[in-house]
Amino acid sequence: MDIGAWIGVTSLVLAIPLGIASGLLTPRLVTYLQQRKLIKSHRTKEQDIAAYRSIEAFKNGTRDKYPPYLAMAVLSVNFAICGAVFVLLIALKYGSIDETTLLPSQLTIFFSLLAVLFFSFSALCLVLIPITDRRIQKFTEYTAEIRKKWGDDVV
């Protein structure tokens, strides 16, 4: 027999057990995915409520808002310095960068990806400061948004 016949026989032999297995395992898989979605939704709800409580404490004055702002700014600066270090390492490795000397090696790609990652984290930390401030300034709208998302009994 040639290879095509063997492939056909193998496909036929495997199709029947796989069809039976898929029929038996589909309800279990669907149940698992629904439970996972509920768990993730519950975790997201808890995180949103914790963030809301923090913003509420900032708004009421029971918690000072400036230490988290300073922490985010310090983290942003540290991430930017780490990204600059990797850019500096790439520059030191190649000296003058032109098209002939900049051949992508594994180390160059790794350093470049790390630099982009650190600069992205730096930007994210900087963006979190005005987002938090906007939530404090527009607290009633933020409360309405949380109530719309998770229900009136949450807040």
CA distances to 3, 20, 25, 37 from 31, rounded to whole Å, are 40, 18, 10, 10
Domain count within the chain = 1
Band (pLDDT 50/70/90 cuts) for residue 119 is very high
In terms of phi and psi (left: phi > 0; alpha: psi -120 to 50; beta: otherwise), the region of 2 is beta
Residue 113, CB-side half-sphere exposure with 13 Å CA sphere: 7
Residue 72 domain flag: yes
Residue 93 domain flag: yes
pLDDT digits (tens, 9 = 90+) for 80-98: 999 999 999 888 877 665 6
Band (pLDDT 50/70/90 cuts) for residue 100 is low
User: Are 62 and 136 contacting, i.e. CB atoms less than 8 angstroms apart?
Assistant: no
Residue 155 domain flag: no
Residue 60 phi/psi, 5-degree rounding, is -80, -15
pTM of the model: 0.63
Q: Cβ–Cβ contacts within 10 Å for residue 79, how many?
A: 20
Range(s) of the domain holding residue 121: 3-150
Q: Percentage of the chain surpassing pLDDT 70? A: 93
